[in-house]
Amino acid sequence: MQVGIIGATGFVGSLLGQRLLDRGDHLIILARNVSKAQGMFPTAAVVDWQDDRSAAEALQRCDTVVNLAGRPIADPWNRTVKAEIYHSRIDTTAKLIALLAGLDRKPQVMVSASAIGYYGSSETEQFTETSPKGTGFLADVCQDWEAKADGAESLGIRLVKLRIGIVLDRGGGALGKILPLFQLGLGGILGRGTQWFSWIHRTDLVNLILFCLDRGDVRGVLNATAPQPVTNSQFTELLAQQVKRPALLPVPEFALKLALGEGASVVLEGQKVIPVRPIESGFQFTYPQLEDALAAICR
C-alpha cells in the first residue's frame, strides 16, 4: 500500500512509519519540515505539507491516509498555546479534507487521531465509544477535530477516528518526561492520585492503527486505550516497582497548577475509558495490563 502520513515525525508516527516500512508498504509523508522527515525516513517520499499542489499530488497516490498531526499539549497553557493546540488539529484536518475533496482518485481509508479528552473528566463514570461528549477545552477541541474528519465519510472514504489515551513508551510522550524522575527516586502521585489514567502502550496503538487500515469493516469511533485503566496512585506504585525506586514525593495540586496553568487539568483530572469497539472487533492487545507494559518499557 501507499500510505500517506501527516504527523509522521511524532512519537506515534515515527513508530507507525517504521512498522509500515517493515511490512513492505510505501510511505508518503506530508510534513512541515521536509528535511527533518526525510532524515527520519530516508526511503520515504516526503512532501511539503505547506505546498498545497504538491500535497494534493501526493495524496492522489495514497491508498490510505493516517492523520496524526497536532501540537503537543504538555506545555503550560496560555491563550497562544491553546490556540495552537486547537488550530494545529482542526485546521490541518480541514485542509486535509479539502485537498481530498479535489482528488480524482481518493484513498480508500483515513485513520484520524482524536483523544479521550472528548469525554471530559470523571472519577466515577466509565466511558465507552457511545458516551456523550464531556465539557472543557479538550472536549471541545476533540469534538471539532472529529467533526472536520467526518468530511472524509462524505467523500466516500472509510473513516476511523481513534480516541487515543495516554501513550506510553520510552523516549517520548508522558513517560518520556516522568520516567527519568522516577528512576532518580523523585516520583510520586500527582494531586490526590484518585484520578483515572487511561493509557495505551505505543506498540498497541500502532498495531491498532494497522488493524484499522487493514480491516475494511472497521469504521467510526474506537477508543485507543488499554482494557485496564488505572488510577494515578496505581500507576505511580507500578512504575516505582518497575524502576525499583521509592515514589514518595507527591506533587501537590497547587504546584502543578502553578507550573502548568489550566493545562494541569490534563494530569490532575482523568477519565476511565474502556476500548469496547477494538475488543468487539477482535483486536488483540499485546499489553492489556499496565504492569506488563511498564515491564517491557523499563526492561
Ligand X SMILES: NC(=O)c1ccc[n+]([C@@H]2O[C@H](COP(=O)([O-])OP(=O)(O)OC[C@H]3O[C@@H](n4cnc5c(N)ncnc54)[C@H](OP(=O)(O)O)[C@@H]3O)[C@@H](O)[C@H]2O)c1
Interaction mask 96-125, ligand X, x per CB under 6 A: -----------------x-x----------
**Of positions 64, 92, 131, 265, contacts ligand X by CB under 6 A:** 92
- Residue 10 as a binder of ligand X (CB under 6 A): the answer is yes
User: In the numeric block, which cell numbers belong to residue 250?
Assistant: 507527591
Which residues have a Cβ under 8 Å from the Cβ of 260 and sit 6 or more positions away? Answer: 76, 77, 266, 267
Q: How many residues bind ligand X (CB under 6 A)?
A: 27
User: Using CA atoms, how far apart are residues 92 and 128, in angstroms rounded to an integer?
Assistant: 27
- Residue 28 as a binder of ligand X (CB under 6 A): the answer is no
- Residue 88 as a binder of ligand X (CB under 6 A): the answer is yes
Residue identified by cell 512532501 is 47
Quote the least distance from Cβ 233 to ligand X, whole Å: 20
- Residue 173 as a binder of ligand X (CB under 6 A): the answer is yes
Which of helix, strand or coil describes residue 1? Answer: coil
Q: Which residue's CB comes closest to ligand X?
A: 10
Q: Where are the alpha helices (DSSP H) in the chain?
A: 11-22, 34-40, 52-60, 79-101, 137-149, 151-154, 173-183, 202-214, 232-243, 253-260, 265-268, 276-280, 290-298
**Interaction residues for ligand X, span 44-63 (CB under 6 A):** 49
Quote the least distance from Cβ 14 to ligand X, whole Å: 8
**Of positions 50, 53, 72, 214, contacts ligand X by CB under 6 A:** 72
- Residue 208 as a binder of ligand X (CB under 6 A): the answer is no
Quote the least distance from Cβ 93 to ligand X, whole Å: 9
Residue identified by cell 487521531 is 113
Quote the least distance from Cβ 192 to ligand X, whole Å: 22
| DSSP state string for 83-112 | HHHHHHHHHHHHHHHHHHHT-SS--SEEEE
In order of 14, 60, 223, the CA distances from 18 in angstroms are 6, 22, 23
Interaction site with ligand X (CB under 6 A): 7-13, 31-33, 37, 49, 68-72, 84, 88, 92, 113, 115, 164, 166-167, 173-174
